[in-house]
Structure 1
Amino acid sequence: MKVFILLIMGIGLLHSVSAATHSLHYVYTATSGIPDFPEFVTVGLVNREPISYYDSIIRTETPRQDWMANNEGSDYWESQTQISNGTEQTFKANIDILKQRFNQTGGVHVVQNMYGCEWDDETGVTDGFEQYGYDGEDFILFDLKTLTWIAPKPQAVITKYKWDNDRGWIEQTKNYLTQTCIEWLKKYVDYGKSSLMRTVPPSVSLLQKTPSSPVTCHATGFYTREVIVTWKKDGQDHHEDVEMGETLHNDDGTFQKSVHLTVKPEEWKNNKYQCVVQDSGINEVFIKVLTEDEIETNWDVKDPNTTGLITAVVVTLLLVIVAAFIWKKKTRQASGGASTSSNNSAPEAQVLSQINRQFLTPALKQM
């Protein structure tokens, strides 16, 4: 089972959208079988930056950005707390339902709901999505084009039929994803525009641990994740013996990215190698030519256990949640899974009444 701990940092996630595209996403996670850990967690994110947090231990919705706390009063946070209280009960019921559907009793199990919308402030194009996963796999996904639910698993077919037949709720979900969510996203982006839309040029360095180590082009200090780092040889794109590193989050809210080039000294001394960094946030290109003078190194370090200049950034964690699972990304096109029979259905828990969600999130249903 693909289960992992997602560390949601107070300064943001390790993934973001482009400079022109803004997103409002919510992640709800219910777990069972994990001692001393919240059974239910919610987090709201704008441009992948956490804006709100709730779990079944603190039982209070709390802001995770100053610009959220400063722009929304106590009534907002009290209503969101009530919403999360009710959603927690629904998710606890859902995890019991799915355990029955999959003929499971003990062990660790996770249900997660991810939904939200995106808005391109240059083109005006919007999009929305909603999907559920269970124990590391897709369980059911909403197709916004056909206004139907897609059931990749046989155990989800009973849920698909149930939810597809509630046309009023389908329409409500569509209106939230295409209208209400976009309205709130624009409001939140306006709240945090000074923080969310910062643009600072990256600092670019060429690093090498030892003379035989790969040469690393390291860009850091930028705010938009849409920074492209590449190597060129004699003016042409160079992909041979190049390894792309992950984009990481610095503890000051900026990002860093590295690309490693494995090349012998005699090779780069006889040819012109360049590291090219393109930052779409400021529409500028930065170039570092690979020369001996440009390389920063720690060759003189005597401790063989030294990890060198390229180290993971240690961040202060304001939030820690179970991210439930890694589920495979699906296209939002219909799949053939809905033709499976529903013999795997199980007795369902009593449907709990839903709290008025005040248009901040879509209404949730039991499976």
Structure 2
Amino acid sequence: MEYSKCNLKVVQDPHWCISLSNYELFLVVVTDSHTLEFIFTAISSSEDLPEFMSAVILDGQQISYYDSKSRQISHKQTRVKQKMYQFNAHSSGLKLFLFPFTGIHVLQRSLGCDVENGVLKQGFLLYGYNGEDLIGFSKDRLQWFPAIPEAYFLKSEWDKDRMSNKDYKDFLDSKCVEILKKHQSLTIVKSMLLVRLTCLATGFNHQNIKSSWYRNGALLWNKSQSAKILPNGDGTFQIRDTLEIDHADNNNYSCEVERSTVEFGKKFKLKLIFVKGWPFFFSPLLLYPRNRPFEV
């Protein structure tokens, strides 16, 4: 049985793998990506719900909230508070213009940034009305782009406000990233000190596969984060399993992927070993019936 290395260009390709027959076992390098989003919602003609609500979302988790009924912000960072009040006033003015009729209407605004490895990947500022896209801002062009014909009147007015548009650009280009980093340094230090190991095995003809994590050769129980079996689109399947460890952990970790087959009455295993101090180090182990060729 022969195996060959593939995708060994680390700079060009973030995946390393070892190909064994039709199986491939990967170490996936996970980038440090984060998203900070300010969500603002204004509602008309509702007695039960607050007239205005806003929330700050970091990596899918709500870290701050405000509504017009409680009039209290559940956050201690002054910069975040100031931005929430500022956006409250802006959205309230727009709400008066868009809510001239009776009935319930919803205006939403989403503003934030995606940051990868400490560098801004993209900034976004979007408005939605009654569940549909309304208008979006381009920080590079300092212009607004309507999503529906009815929003062209907003574009014509907002494009003239160069000072506000420059403020939006400044927030999206730098201040949003500063807020994200500051909040992370205060509340998410633990997650920043974790190393994520991801094991990906692909090319299986059925879903009879499972993965296990080992530390120094001993099986880890309840340490794997819900391994997922997914279709590849070509009739084969893949399994992806992730383990998070402390950055100072000097133990050796390995991921073992096992495939069972009724036909052979045997089990096949692929093993990937993670060695501290080496960028990537692979030790493949393949078990197969000696009296038959290895098949998928």
TM superposition score category, shorter chain reference: 0.5 to 0.7
Structure 1 residue 114 displacement after superposition: 0.3
User: Is 2:225–2:242's contact at 8 Å kept on the other side of the alignment?
Assistant: no
Letter of the 1:276 counterpart:
I
Matched, 1:31 2:26: no
1:149 maps to 2:112: no
1:118 aligned residue (93, 114, 120): 114
How far is the alpha carbon of 1:290 from its aligned partner? Answer: 4.4
Cross-structure match for 2:91: 91
Q: What are structure 2's unaligned runs of at least 5 residues?
A: 1-29, 208-223, 246-252, 266-296
The answer for the alignment partner of 1:185 in structure 2 is 180
* Whole-angstrom distance in 2 between the partners of 1:29 and 1:228: 40
Please show how residues 210-359 of structure 1 align to structure 2 within 5 Å.
Answer: 232-233=203-204, 258-259=228-229, 276-279=239-242, 287-290=257-260
Q: Deviation of residue 185 (structure 1)?
A: 1.4
Would the alpha carbon gap of residues 84 and 256 (structure 1) be closer, same or farther in structure 2, given more than 3 Å must change?
same
Describe the shift of the 1:172–1:276 C-alpha distance in structure 2 as closer, same or farther (beyond 3 A): same
Identity percentage of aligned residues: 27
1:170 aligned to 165, 189, 192, which one?
Answer: 165
Partner of 1:61: 73
Gap change, CA 1:41 and 1:120, over 3 Å in 2: same
1:25, distance to aligned residue in structure 2 (A): 1.0
1:175 Cα deviation from its structure 2 partner = 0.8
Following superposition, the deviation at residue 189 of structure 1 comes to 1.7
Compare the two structures and name the one with the higher strand fraction: 2
TM-score relative to the length of structure 2:
0.58
Q: CA deviation at 1:30?
A: 0.8
1:40 aligns with 2:52: yes
- Equivalent residues in 2 for 1:4-15 (5 A)? none
Task: Tell whether the 8 Å contact from 2:199 to 2:255 is kept in structure 1 after alignment.
Answer: no
Say whether the 8 Å CA contact 1:140–1:156 is kept in structure 2.
yes
In the other structure, the counterpart of 1:8 is: none
| 1:117 Cα offset (Å) | 1.3
RMSD across aligned C-alpha pairs, in angstroms? 3.7
Closer/same/farther in 2, CA of residues 186 and 89 from structure 1, 3 Å limit: closer
Distance in 2 separating the partners of 1:55 and 1:127: 28
Cα distance in 2 for partners of 1:278, 1:256 equals: 7
Contact 2:66 2:73 in 1 (8 A): yes
- Which of the pair has more CA radius of gyration? 2
Alpha-carbon deviations, 1:156-210, whole Å to 9, x = none?
A: 11111111111111111111110111112111121123344364879xxxxxxxx
Deviation at 1:85?
5.1
Distance across 1 between alignment mates of 2:51 and 2:178: 31
Query: Matches of 2:154 and 2:244 in 1, distance apart?
Result: 42
Runs of 4+ aligned structure 1 residues displaced above 4 Å come to 82-87, 198-202, 227-231, 254-261, 280-286, 290-293
| Partner SS, residue 60 of structure 1 | coil
Give the letter aligned to residue 239 of structure 2: V
Supply the distance in 1 between the matched residues of 2:91 and 2:50 (Cα, whole angstroms): 13
In 2, Cα distance between the equivalents of 1:195 and 1:115?
Answer: 26
Q: Deviations over 1:18-53 (max 9, x none)?
A: 751122211001112344112211111222221111
CA deviation digits over 1:134-154, x for unaligned, max 9?
011111100122111001222
Query: Do the aligned partners of residues 281 and 38 (structure 1) sit closer, same or farther apart at CA in structure 2, a change above 3 Å counting?
Result: same
8 Å Cα contact 2:225-2:243 kept in structure 1: no
> How far does residue 59 in structure 1 lie from its aligned partner after superposition?
0.7
Work out the CA distance in 2 between the residues paired with 1:99 and 1:150.
Answer: 21
The residue identity in structure 2 corresponding to 1:233 is: F
Q: Give TM-score scaled by structure 1 length.
A: 0.48
Cα deviation for residue 106 of structure 1 reads 2.4
Distance, in Å, in 2 between the alignment partners of 1:94 and 1:257 is: 46
- The corresponding residue for 2:105 is 109
Aligned partners of 1:25, 1:136: CA distance in 2, in Å?
Answer: 18
Unmatched segments (≥5 aa) in structure 1 = 1-17, 64-68, 203-226, 240-253, 262-272, 294-367
Please tell me the residue identity of whatever aligns with 2:121: T
- Which secondary structure state, in structure 2, belongs to the residue aligned with residue 62 of structure 1? coil
Aligned residues of 1:54 and 1:61 also touching (Cα < 8 A): yes
Instruction: Kindly state the Cα deviation for residue 132 of structure 1 after the two structures are TM-superposed.
Output: 0.4
The 2-side partners of 1:56 and 1:288 are apart by 55
